[in-house]
A = this chain, B = another copy of it.
Amino acid sequence: MPTLSTSDLDTPLITVDLDRVESNVRRMQESCDGRGLAFRPHIKTHKLPQIARLQLDAGAVGIACQKVGEAEVMAEAGIGDIMITFPIIGSSKVRRLAGLAKTVSLSTVADSTAGVRGLSAGLAAEGATAGLLVECDTGFGRTGVQTPAQAAELAQLADGLPGLRFAGLMTYPTLAGTAEWIARARGLIEGRGLAVERVSGGGTPTAFAGLEGGQVTELRAGTYVYGDRACVANGTVPLEANALLVRATVVSRPTAGRAILDAGSKALTSDLPAGAERLTGYGMLLEHPQAEIYGLSEEHGHVDVSRCPAPPEIGDVVSIVPNHACATVNLYDTVLVHRGAARVGVWPVAARGRMA
């Protein structure tokens, strides 16, 4: 298959192969359909309304966003079902969330009494209603109530307050013990006469883990859409399905064994996703599999090319599978979208930079 010509590109930049994105979207949707799971892609990876639209057209029930600002961009682009999977705290943010709840089908999460009461007050003041899922810490140790009993308490609190509709439970990631935890919470909540309409679980690496108990009804995943070096390593997105590359230029060959790229931590990120802590190096050079990006300055990638049979020379453009797609995309204002050799266009990463 013909590949994208890169010799005229001003590097560093991100290229996105839309054919591969569409395959990844279809494959994940089919996997969910086959298991009877609703699928709700997380847009934190791509931050592009165009890809959110592809995901919905393929059968997703809605999208997940991590920030009010991301949700605002997606709502403005016409996405009608949005879940904000982050505890929204503070009257100014809750006011913006209420604005969203008046224009789209909105759900969000809370793991505290203060969180539930703050959402209720802000939503009710604007005459808006949002679905509320109680966030549960089923083993990851981040946000979320710590026990099924606490989940039931918060569910009942939410159910009785204006502006909120208790909509179920949310966890991240879905782990081995998740189903049992959720089953206990569900029992306690149903014992109080409330229905648990959705149980939302998440994570590309653990997408289909923890489903044995049949508790999770909805999957959220983001990284699957592009893949990255961590996904290649953990087997969830094979290299041939990887859809996102950072293109960089060799700008220096100071020694026989060293090449320097114009992509450093501000273009490749030094970040690693959870679970990939044992990955060494800062990306995979497709054209030079024996090369290792062993260090990053802000704008320099330091590459050991001593084991390459034909090391890259100054001026060569190389293609890098980054370690963590989500963190890498977050550094760029635009991506160059293509289908094989054909350029589709330069898309603004519309939901990037919406910090709050």
Q: Identify the A interface with B (CB < 8 A).
A: 8, 10-13, 44, 66-67, 86-90, 92-93, 111-112, 114-115, 118, 137, 141-146, 249-255, 258, 260, 262, 265-267, 269-272, 274, 297-300, 302, 313-315, 326-327, 330-333, 353, 355-356
Contacts and interface: CB of A to CB of B under 8 A. Distances in A.
A12 B356 contact: yes
Contacts of A266: 327, 330
A300 to B, nearest CB: 6
Contacts of A66: 298-299
- Main secondary structure, interface of A, reads loop
Nearest to A8: B92
B299 A67 contact: yes
A172 to B, nearest CB: 9
Most B CB contacts (10 A, CB to CB) among A298, A314, A353 go to A298
A253 B142 CA distance: 10
Contacts of A12: 355-356
B86 A10 contact: no
Task: Please list the 10 inter-chain residue pairs (A to B) with the smallest Cβ-Cβ separation, ordered nearest first.
Answer: A10-B356, A333-B353, A143-B252, A114-B314, A270-B271, A87-B251, A89-B251, A66-B299, A265-B271, A143-B260
Contact of A11 (B10, B326, B356): B356
7 contacts: A11-B355, A66-B299, A86-B251, A89-B315, A145-B254, A271-B271, A332-B355
A92 B66 CA distance: 38
Given A86-B299, A262-B356, 16 more contacts: A10-B93, A10-B355, A12-B356, A86-B300, A87-B252, A89-B249, A89-B315, A111-B252, A114-B315, A118-B315, A141-B258, A142-B254, A143-B260, A270-B271, A270-B272, A274-B297
A196 B314 CA distance: 26
A68 to B, nearest CB: 8
